[in-house]
A = this chain, B = another copy of it.
Amino acid sequence: MTPDLIALFRRLTAGVYVVGVGNRSRFDAFTAAAIMQVSYRPLLLALAINPRHASYELLRSGQAFSVSVLDHSQMDLARRFGTDADDAADKLSGIEWRHGQSGAPILAQALGFFDCSVRAESAAGDHRLFLGAVIDGALLRPAARPLVYADTGDLDRSAAIFPDNYESAARDAGRTR
């Protein structure tokens, strides 16, 4: 069953972003797809993150995150920031970036960016869900086409963490809230 279930979830259309976290003294960045707009007034983005991820504590303590939108030619950046290595200096070295108003790092090569201040955090199964108020942003390259998650294959190696079938998913759902 698993291949069918994974194939279905790949039809949920998503982008590919580099999320920057932290403040002016400590910071990190990682590749993410689970980002969407959830409110207009105020302007809020939702971001899901695995709490075992090295960047989670920094997101929590900094109470800020940036979203650098990747374009379809930037699979190399998606791969670079998609590694588990928690050595932020390595991931950002040789790449042009700056601190946003929130302090979180923003990639200069991004198609565009959002800079967010955390407003809420809640449980969401094996992830945590953050709501960020958009305090700044810009479209840097209007002609560029965004990178789409379905086109990245199994870059995030998520295929290995899906349940085998819906019966197994239902059991997971019964155990966790």
Query: Is B14 within 8 A of A13, CB to CB?
Result: yes
Residue in B41, B112, B119 whose CB lies within 8 Å of A161:
B41
| Given A7-B142, A135-B170: A163 in contact with B41 (beta carbons within 8 A) | yes
> How many of chain A's residues have a CB under 8 angstroms from any CB in B?
64
Residue in B14, B38, B112, B172 whose CB lies within 8 Å of A11:
B112
- Cα A41 to Cα B166 in complex, Å, equals 11
| Given A15-B13, A48-B36: A137 in contact with B41 (beta carbons within 8 A) | no
The residue on B at minimum CB distance from A169 is: B43
Q: For residue A161, which residues in chain B have a CB less than 8 angstroms away from its CB?
A: 40-41
- Cα A169 to Cα B45 in complex, Å, equals 12
Can you name 25 A-B pairs with beta carbons within 8 Å?
A4-B138, A5-B137, A11-B112, A11-B146, A12-B15, A13-B16, A13-B146, A13-B149, A34-B37, A38-B48, A41-B161, A41-B169, A41-B172, A42-B172, A42-B173, A43-B172, A44-B127, A120-B177, A122-B122, A129-B129, A129-B131, A133-B169, A133-B173, A135-B173, A137-B166
